[in-house]
Structure 1
Amino acid sequence: MVNLGEVFNFLDRIKMGETVLVEYSSSNYAMDFTVLLLKRYAEERGYPFVIYDNLDTLYIIDKHLGFFGLKDAFSNSIVIKTGGVINIGRVIERIALEREPAIYLKRYEDSTKRLQDKYRGSITVVLGMERLFAFINDFFSFYEIMTSMERFLGSAARRAFYLCDTRVCNILPLNPLPELENIASTVIRAKIREGRIIGKICKSPKAEMMGWKVEAPITELL
């Protein structure tokens, strides 16, 4: 699959209720163009596009894309912020970070349930997961977060894409990637190479799709 239309056709095959883990390396712009691709897909197909922005990660993406000549790419995107102080997009809710994960998770789950009712069928993107896990240094809190994520697996109101920087995750005291890969119904490894965004499907509920590669020129997104 070597063009944007074919990548969109692949995304059509990801079912509502799936949790998709997108792994990338911070050494290139894979995160930035993955989010932009998902936004373009949601617009093309007429789905609500919702971003959970943890600790101002969306600000970094917005500024990076600005260097490519794309200004205010997320000005109309629905955004829920956890921590951070810089508003990008239409910020409709804020979830305060807490030292006690159970308090934060309750607020997160309540917010998510409200939004699922309001924006059914959404493409939901969660940014900066590795930043949240950097605050976690005990197994009890670690598995509180994982259990909370498990509860949204199968929710027919959305397709959720969790983006994680593997280079950061691999140096955390508690690396979340093995558990996230276990929870996710689909796992995609994204990278940029020779002006193309490339995704390798490492896990999928459709056996024939495992091992597939999908790619598109980043110029088609700009």
Structure 2
Amino acid sequence: MKDAKLAVATAKDIERILDEVRFGGFTLVKNYSMVGAELMLYALLNYTYGHSLPVIVEDIFDAFVGYVRHFDVMGLAPPMDHVGVLKVGGIDEVGNVFGKLQFEADPLLYIKKKERAVKEAIGDDPHVYIITGFERLLGFQRDIKSVYAIASHMREELGNEKRLVISIVEGHVIEGFPMNPLPLLEGVATSVIELHDREDLVCLDLKKSVFNILGGTNKLFIRPADVVGWC
């Protein structure tokens, strides 16, 4: 295996990365960075708004609420008019909440309820589906069978050209589980991105990629100010 090339991404490169994300795929973003998840989410909300793509955020146990509060601290204000929020558990609300689901220990019941809620909210219109707090949901699963049920649903959604799925998980949290579900999710995902800190930069490590950028580079370094400036 060749050594990974390193490059500092420009604002144009950031847009090119997002341009490569295709409907019908599942991108898993593993965050190990202090601000990486917030920057990724900030870029996604701005990109989708600029391209007139409706967004559904699945907010599991107030994870999206936490990211939005971090936006406030960072002085960021991404567009939210095109974003619908589906609450799964939790008590706090941000954005345009269109549905609230109680946490279900049975993953099949959870999947059925959330898909019904999304169908009622957006019908068959194409949309970007962002999952926040996925690790919180997985942490409550009682056995590997339940995790497989969730992963199987993600696999069944592959090829759905009406939906682009992006899940942001906190890597240090999920890897602390007695049963780490990450290898299973990575096997299902069409793309896997890891976010790490490197001094004052955020490193995007394309671990499993459908992206074709910068002549085969699989690691990019991004200045947070460039993300904010591009958006």
2:182 to 165, 177, 182: 177
Contact 1:7 1:215 in 2 (8 A): no
Question: What's the counterpart of residue 34 of structure 1?
Answer: 40
1:92 to 60, 81, 98: 98
Question: Alignment partner of 1:151: what SS?
Answer: helix
Q: 1: distance between equivalents of 2:125 and 2:11?
A: 25
How many residue pairs align between the two structures?
Answer: 219
1:64 has 2:70 as partner: yes
Q: Which amino acid aligns with 1:130?
A: E
Contact 1:198 1:213 in 2 (8 A): yes
Give the alignment of 1:63-212 within 5 angstroms. Answer: 63-70=69-76, 73=78, 75-76=80-81, 77-114=83-120, 117-120=123-126, 122-205=127-210, 212=218
Distance 1:206 1:195, change over 3 A: closer
2:22 to 15, 20, 32: 15
Question: Alignment partner of 2:123: what SS?
Answer: helix
Give every structure 1 segment of 4 or more consecutive aligned residues whose post-TM-superposition deviation is greater than 6 Å: 207-210
Please give the TM-score of this superposition, normalised by the length of structure 2. 0.85
1:25-62 deviation line (CA, Å, top 9, x unaligned): 2x512111111111111122221122111000011111
Aligned Cα RMSD in Å? 2.3
Question: Alignment partner of 1:200: what SS?
Answer: strand
1:99-137 deviation line (CA, Å, top 9, x unaligned): 3222112112323445563541x2221000110111112
Indicate the larger mover: 9-18 or 109-118: 109-118
Query: Unaligned regions of 5+ residues in structure 2, if any?
Result: 1-7
Contact 1:18 1:154 in 2 (8 A): yes
